[in-house]
Amino acid sequence: MTGEVAVLGVGMHPWGKWGRGFVEYGVTAARTALADAGIDWRDIGSIVGADTVRGGYPGYVAGATFAKALGWQGARVASVYAACASGAQALNTARAQILAGLADVVLVVGADAAPKGFFRPAGGDRPDDPDWLRFRVLGATNPTYFGLYARRRMALYADTLEDFAQVKVKNAALGALNPHARYRKKVTAEEVAGSAVVADPLRLLDICATSDGGAAVVLSSMDFARRHGAAGPVRIRAVSTVTPSYPNTVLDLPDIATDSAAAVRPADGTFRASIARAAYEEAGIGPEDLSLAEVYDLSTALELQWYEDLGLCGEGEAVKLLREGATSLGGRIPVNVSGGLASFGEAVPAQAIAQVCELTWQLRGSAGDRQVAGARVGITANQGLFGHGSSVVAVR
């Protein structure tokens, strides 16, 4: 199919709080991906880095930072920042270079060294920055927004705290099977309920941590893959990086107000739903074709929202899907078989790349105890601050 690129190799640095620099995590992931692909670093034609604003100046030029750490060899370089969507933007940049004929094989790397506690804006006074403003004007940290989203689901669809807890129980059980996960321990619903309230109604175990980690992917043209001897590789069929449509009437990070719909009819569906819709349209598939999904579960309630935004069920039906076991391993459409952010925590520029690593292992049939039987098509979904969509469709 035109527009496809091959995933030759994937690699990760385990998530945790390691106390070292992001470059070390990224280089480890990159070397693992290169080894997985059977490619020498000197044969890479381009490297694309997903930036971290917490890494000082080297984090803002991650592509060149990783290229230098791996050893200057003349490759093209690009650096991409799109908050939580940085990894998908980096993958899309790499894919565009391959399809344009600028490079046969490209290395994509993202890594982060996270602060203690929740993420906050970069330092300095920036009154024109909505991310800075929502902290200073509203005191609206990320968990505050997650709590508001949870309340919205409770008000609209009668979701309960017990439903949210079951998302954590599901993901923790799967994360316990993943050697790259930070948290590898099963959790009970009672433990979720007994954890401290962070942003009512969400408890500590409803909300993802901030983590250190790294992920990397080696992409190539299909012709290069064949010459390289990669028979039937996993393929990237679509990458969605869409922005919202005006008016955007559902409050989204980091905004503190929605667009007005007084004079303009809202778009059909929300921004989050449009992210997946664009990926489906480009890939020529629908939600009924999926074998699994990896979604950005910043909170337990937000995972439920993704079920609906991906079209896995109708509006307000996410809890029904969860209760039926459809999104568990062995269910109709397993979601976050990696363990999700519930088990990893956020390493922002690495996360969308890590999702593609998981799809690759699943589609190869090499995911071990968390393998989805017969996996053929997978999708990822997350979104970044300031209207950055992020969704990747991979097939085998």
Q: Same domain for 23 and 97?
A: yes
Q: Same domain for 229 and 306?
A: no
Which residue range forms the structural domain that includes residue 15? Answer: 5-117+212-236
Q: Same domain for 144 and 217?
A: no
**Which of residues 198, 220, 236 is at a domain's end?**
236
**Which of residues 236, 252, 280 is at a domain's end?**
236
Q: Same domain for 142 and 272?
A: yes
**Which of residues 236, 251, 286 is at a domain's end?**
236
Q: Same domain for 232 and 318?
A: no
Ranges in the chain, pLDDT < 50: 1
Q: What is the pLDDT of residue 367?
A: 97
Q: What is the pLDDT of residue 2?
A: 60
Q: Same domain for 21 and 113?
A: yes
Q: What is the pLDDT of residue 267?
A: 83
Residue 386 covered by a domain: yes
In total, how many domains does the chain have?
2
CA–CA gap between residue 347 and residue 9 (Å, rounded): 20
Residue 193 covered by a domain: yes
Q: Same domain for 92 and 19?
A: yes
Residue 122 covered by a domain: no
Q: What is the pLDDT of residues 273-330, one digit of tens each?
A: 999 999 999 999 999 999 999 999 999 999 999 999 999 999 999 999 999 999 999 9
CA–CA gap between residue 280 and residue 60 (Å, rounded): 31
Residue 125 covered by a domain: no
Residue 45 covered by a domain: yes
CATH number of the domain to which 219 belongs: 3.40.47.10
Residue 124 covered by a domain: no
Q: Same domain for 307 and 346?
A: yes
Q: What is the pLDDT of residue 102?
A: 97
Q: Same domain for 71 and 171?
A: no
Q: Same domain for 169 and 277?
A: yes
Q: Same domain for 232 and 292?
A: no
Residue 361 covered by a domain: yes
The sign of the CA dihedral 282, 287, 288, 289 is: positive
Torsion, CA 242, CA 321, CA 370, CA 14, rounded to 10: 50
Q: What is the pLDDT of residue 123?
A: 76
Q: Same domain for 295 and 277?
A: yes
